[in-house]
């Protein structure tokens, strides 16, 4: 009986040792991947793309198509292309101030009273905050390898608890971003089209 317990104890020690080494190898692999991504993104000052946004609120789903332009100084421009009733609305964030331009009223509204705006639905914020990543995995989509990053949200609430971002493995171009609630349910899905980095 003692031999059996010693055997079980040895197996547990070996398995624990294997898991530790595997997680250490995975951690080193993740660090190398993140370093490679940082070096790749250093060559760019921003990006421009078209985003398709789906917002889920209970049984209601709202969909928007937006042209997004972002630069490393944290300035961005979002222009709503659809739906038709919102077409032409532009949201600008420049020098920490937010402006909303509405074509139907021919006015620009300044929203300077906002204390902090959570930009974590912008891919540019992800690129600047790789330290928020809590998990890295892989997934094949349409025959192409993608890296899936899970990130903590700085300002969590019950509707926004976790962000998942898919980027193509070969060139780190973003494919999709999901925002999940505290139950792991999808609250927002953003897919990217015509994504182009802006070079220095």
Sheet with 76-82: strands ordered across: 107-110, 97-102, 90-94, 76-82, 60-71, 44-57, 186-199, 174-180, 160-168, 144-157, 133-141
Topology (CATH) of 36-199:
outer membrane lipoprotein receptor (LolB), chain A (2.50.20)
How far is CA 175 from each of CA 27, 50, 67, 165, rounded to the nearest angstrom? Answer: 24, 11, 15, 8
Tens-digit pLDDT string for the chain (200 aa): 343 333 333 333 333 333 333 334 457 777 888 888 888 788 888 899 999 999 998 899 999 999 999 988 778 899 999 999 889 999 888 877 888 888 887 777 777 645 445 555 677 766 666 777 889 999 999 999 999 999 887 778 888 888 999 999 998 899 999 999 999 999 999 999 999 999 87
Q: Which of 78, 79, 110 lies closest to 95 in space, CA to CA?
A: 110
């Amino acid at each position: 009986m003692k031999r059996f317990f010693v055997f079980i104890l040895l197996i547990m020690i070996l398995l624990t040792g294997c898991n530790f080494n595997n997680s250490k190898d995975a951690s080193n692999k993740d660090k190398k991947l993140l370093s490679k991504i940082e070096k790749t993104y250093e060559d760019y000052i921003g990006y421009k793309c078209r985003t398709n946004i789906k917002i889920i609120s209970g049984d209601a789903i709202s969909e928007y198509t937006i042209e997004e332009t972002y630069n490393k100084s944290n300035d961005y421009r979002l222009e709503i292309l659809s739906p038709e009733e919102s077409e032409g609305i532009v949201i600008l964030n420049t020098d920490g101030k937010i402006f909303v331009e509405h074509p139907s009223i021919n006015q620009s509204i300044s929203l300077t009273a906002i204390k902090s705006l959570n930009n974590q639905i912008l891919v540019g914020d992800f690129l600047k905050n790789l330290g928020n990543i809590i998990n890295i995995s892989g997934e094949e989509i349409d025959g192409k390898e993608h890296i899936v990053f899970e990130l903590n949200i700085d300002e969590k609430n019950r509707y926004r608890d976790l962000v998942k971002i898919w980027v193509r493995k070969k060139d780190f171009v973003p494919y999709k971003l999901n925002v999940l609630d505290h139950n792991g349910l999808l609250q927002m899905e953003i897919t990217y089209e015509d994504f182009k980095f802006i070079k220095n």
